[in-house]
Amino acid sequence: MNLASKLRKFLPQENKPPAPAAKGGGDLDHFLHGQEVDTPYGVCYVVEKAIPIKERHGHWPLQKALDAVYDDFGRLGQTLPQPLQVRNALFLDTETTGLAGGTGTYAFLVGLGAFTDTHFLVKQLLMRDYNEELALLYLLDQELQTKDTLISFNGKTFDLPLLQTRFTISRLGFQGCNGKSQLDLLHPSRRIWRHKLQSCSLNSLEANILGVRRIDDIPGFEIPGRYFEFLHTGKGELLAGILEHNVIDIVSMASLLYRLHSIIELEPGECNCPWEAEALGLLALNGGHYNQSLFYFDVARESCQDREQQIRVLRTSALICKRLGHYEEASALWKQLLELASDDLLGYEELAKYYEHRLKDLAAAKQVTRRALALAWRSKSQKAAELEHRLRRLEKKGRAKQKE
């Protein structure tokens, strides 16, 4: 008994289940409009779709993604050739028999997207039954070898490890990713929008950032069940929604690539979103560009309405000013922070340091430290012992000054 037969034992049984569609059967062709492709390992079903690059996907035409010069993605923590040549990139997304991964999970559909001068081409490799997996993997490896860069969304964590597992189990050499640059769009998306959005899933980014509306789309968690039902019934219409879902995923990646590029190109004065200004400030800070980061944080602070963001931006801006030696500006920011968050122990501690070391005002330093210590006792903070030590030192220093 082969693996497909064993798995079907666990599926709901009907009185007279129809036989699965024959390879190249009219039912599947009618809904998917694909064709069989011969390989040394048998046949695989392939569906192709060509989308004109002048067509909009969300807020922008795909032409924007093709024409952009991607020379600054290193700021987002991505190691890529400079600049990224999108014409030499392949967008990849899989649909699988399970969402948890593991050796028992198959990638029954692999979608691949690539730009030409006039179209964005989506090629989908479909495994109509388990005995077509070798053919699918063979075609996938051939496609991967045609491009220099692989672009995915959560691919480094899910899609590519799963595919590597399937190649290993199938005893096929996986040559397509050797020496290839990889860009996983999930991680830079989180760097930009993790505070703005509750979720940085692709669906959330489509709805809130890209302006993509999915109509009658199949939820991702339903896809494995539909595929199992197709294996049981052979009904091609069960796969139509899955393939359309996969196409949108791939095209959205191209649109998301352009959106990320357009954001990291913004100068501080061009930012109209406090969340993106804050993210760009952090990117500049991580790159050691302290003055530039302050400009971005100023934009974020002036336009943000969210209290948590205001606290976060004030705290970071004050620490940068201190590092640059702008102590008066830093103290003004700490005071603003304490007006907004009167329980911020770091703000009190930094003000105490400023009064003691910069203004030589021991009385003000002791007053601020006592407030911080009271808060620390009340909240049972671990900083209480440190603040007690600071207060004792300030009092000792004050007594010594009085004796002079």
68-92: pLDDT as tens digits = 988 877 778 766 666 788 999 999 9
User: Is the pTM here over 0.85, yes or no?
Assistant: yes
Per 3-state DSSP, the chain is made up of helix, strand and coil in percentages (nearest 5) of 55, 15, 30
* Both tokens assigned to 159: 């899609």
Domains of the chain by residue range? 3-264, 269-403
Fold of 269-403: 1.25.40
Residues β-bridged to residue 182: 150
Do the Cβ atoms of 87 and 111 come closer than 8 Å?
no
Local structure of residue 73 (DSSP, 8 states): G
d(CA 299, CA 269): 7
Residue range 136-152: mean pLDDT, rounded:
94
pLDDT at residue 17 above 60?
A: no
Q: How many CB atoms lie within 10 A of CB 138?
A: 20
305-338: pLDDT as tens digits = 999 999 999 999 999 999 999 999 999 999 999 9
Q: So what's the pLDDT on residue 76?
A: 80
Three-state SS for 181?
strand
May I ask the CATH architecture of the domain 3-264? 2-Layer Sandwich (3.30)
* Both tokens assigned to 8: 């079907």
Q: Please, what's the largest Cα pairwise distance for the chain?
A: 103
258-271: pLDDT as tens digits = 999 999 999 999 99
pLDDT at residue 22 above 80?
A: no
Do the Cβ atoms of 69 and 129 come closer than 8 Å?
no
